[in-house]
Homo-oligomer: A and B are copies of this chain.
Amino acid sequence: MKGKLVDKKELSTEGKIKEAARKVFQQKGYAATRTRDIAEEAGINLALLNYYFRSKKNLFDIIMLETVSSFVQSMTTLLNNEDTSLEKKVELIVSHYIDFFTQDPNIPIFMMSELRDNSDGLIDKLQINQVVMDSVFFKQYREAAEKGEVAVSNPMHFLMNLLGQIIFPFIGKPFLKGIGGLNDKQFNSMMQERKKLIPVWMETMVEVTR
């Protein structure tokens, strides 16, 4: 009745096309998506897609930009919280992105496979490097490193580990489900467990001196 984000009928035609495009693109990727798939999913006539968005590529670019932007935006917010410790930030990041990807499990593979070669320079355009490297989080990390509280030589390793622990399960899902004989419910349950486990693992990893 009242839900704007749930009830498709309250979306404008333009909005319906965009939501359908998001769904189909994220599920099948750019090349495997037919404009007719999007039109059908949106419940609109094919011509409308070009009427509102000019071309398939243009529509895709909009979806991709929004998808990556929302990822980067929340990352920016989480990394620059002045009021939380390093450890708390890790907790919040883990929790946020596990919930985020549990809701839209296709986003990791979608982003990674479509940005394979970063051909249109989207990553550079969004200045992800500054977002991460100039963040409060990394300032805190470097301070802790100076005090000797943290011993992972290169902060990029720390980042690879953190993101890998969070994102990889969603990417390797078909393999992992096959190996562990898991259904969707069991998989999601494990991801919820990881909200508590990953921060602990990150903590111990970081303390290794070698």
Which residues in A have some Cβ–Cβ distance to B below 8 Å? 28-32, 106, 109, 112-113, 115-118, 123-124, 128-129, 132-133, 152-154, 156-157, 159-161, 163-165, 167-169, 171-172, 174-182, 190, 193-194, 196-197, 200-201, 204-205, 207-208, 210
How many copies the complex holds: the figure is: 2
Beta-carbon contact of A180 and B156 below 8 Å: yes
Known: A32-B31, A169-B160, A190-B156. A175 touches B205 (CB 8 A): no
Q: Which residues of B contact A181 (CB under 8 A)?
A: 129, 133
In the assembly, what is the distance between CA of A116 and CA of B133, in Å? 32
Q: Which residues of B contact A113 (CB under 8 A)?
A: 29, 109, 112-113
Beta-carbon contact of B132 and A179 below 8 Å: yes
Write the nearest CB–CB distance from A202 to chain B, whole angstroms.
9
Question: Could you say which of B106, B117, B174 contacts A118, with CB atoms under 8 Å apart?
Answer: B174
Beta-carbon contact of A178 and B118 below 8 Å: yes
